[in-house]
């Protein structure tokens, strides 16, 4: 249970928060921790704050960028307390956990949390299928990284235990992975430039809006092959001049 879920911490500034996150994960049965460019890791304070979750901390992987951390994932959720200019579906913690439980058997899942000061960047949010927001006191909604992660890990454990007790069947059908989607977006942008539909010097927010569209659709591997085939045919048509 929950073995397909990875927690991704991006640009964590304080090593103690990494250790506290590992502890929050282990108490709820999550074991896979991925770090994107942490400011300090490994570090003695991370080990001290892990408080017995040394195995989770020791198995943590460090990645140079968010794409590397999300490689192979078919469902990506981002934890964010702020609204964004480009609309992104937002779920409550329990709804997020149920969505993850329903995707069991469909591939790898990632829960992404941004740096302590500013949260997720726009580029990181562009790689998420949806955001999850924890309802807090509107007059004081500050949650530290480990506290927020503890709430989300708890909801994941409850949802998976409920699904297992009900004998819910695992989902079928492999959706396109995050890295496959990134290759598709690069191919799509290249084709739109060739069609003179996208001005690379003034792209505005076209690609970000297209990302949201395809993120909602969540195409599977066969559908992705069809889309890539259409783009290739369009490029061939343009190059042949016919």
Contacts of 63 (CB under 8 A, 6+ apart): 34, 35, 36, 37, 69
**C-alpha dihedral (4, 47, 26, 114), degrees to nearest 10:** -60
Q: Which two tokens stand for residue 126?
A: 């562009």
Summarize the confidence of residues 112-117 as an average pLDDT.
Answer: 95
Question: Each residue of 23-62: pLDDT tens digit?
Answer: 999 999 999 999 999 999 999 999 999 999 999 999 999 9
Domain with residues 178-240, CATH architecture: Orthogonal Bundle (1.10)
- What value does the mean pLDDT of the chain take? 93
Contacts of 25 (CB under 8 A, 6+ apart): 7, 31, 33, 53, 56, 149, 153
Taking residues 125-141, what's their average pLDDT? 94
The count of other CB atoms within 10 Å of the CB of residue 78 is 26
Q: Which residue has the tokens 């090593």?
A: 15
Which has the closest alpha carbon to 92: 147, 130, 146?
130
- Which residues contact residue 27 at a Cβ distance below 8 angstroms, ignoring those fewer than 6 apart? 53, 150, 153
Indicate the domain borders of the chain. 5-166, 178-240
Q: Which CATH number among 3.30.499.10, 1.10.1750.10, 3.40.50.2020, 3.40.1280.10 corresponds to the domain 5-166?
A: 3.40.1280.10
Secondary element (H or E) of residue 140: none
In the predicted structure, residue 186 carries a pLDDT above the cut 50 = yes
**Of 176, 189, 167, residue with least CA distance to 226:** 176
């Amino acid at each position: 249970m929950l073995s397909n879920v990875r927690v991704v911490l991006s640009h964590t500034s304080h090593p103690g928060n990494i250790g506290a996150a590992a502890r929050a994960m282990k108490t709820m049965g999550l074991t896979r921790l991925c770090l994107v460019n942490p400011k300090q890791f490994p570090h003695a304070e991370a080990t001290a704050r892990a408080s017995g979750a040394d195995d989770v901390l020791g198995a943590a992987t460090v990645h140079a960028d968010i794409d590397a951390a999300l490689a192979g994932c078919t469902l990506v959720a981002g934890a964010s307390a702020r609204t964004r200019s480009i609309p992104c579906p937002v779920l409550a913690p329990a709804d997020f956990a149920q969505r993850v439980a329903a995707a069991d058997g469909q591939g790898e899942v990632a829960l992404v949390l941004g740096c302590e000061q500013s949260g997720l960047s726009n580029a990181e949010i562009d790689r998420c299928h949806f955001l999850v927001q924890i309802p807090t006191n509107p007059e004081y909604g500050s949650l530290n990284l480990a506290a927020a992660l503890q709430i989300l890990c708890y909801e994941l454990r409850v949802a998976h235990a409920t699904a297992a007790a009900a004998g819910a069947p695992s989902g079928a059908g492999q959706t396109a992975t995050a890295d496959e989607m990134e290759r598709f977006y690069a191919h799509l942008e290249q084709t739109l430039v060739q069609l003179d539909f996208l001005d690379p010097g003034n792209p505005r927010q076209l690609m970000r809006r297209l990302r949201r569209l395809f993120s909602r659709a969540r195409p599977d591997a066969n559908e992705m092959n069809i889309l890539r085939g259409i783009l290739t045919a369009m490029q061939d048509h343009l190059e042949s001049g016919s």
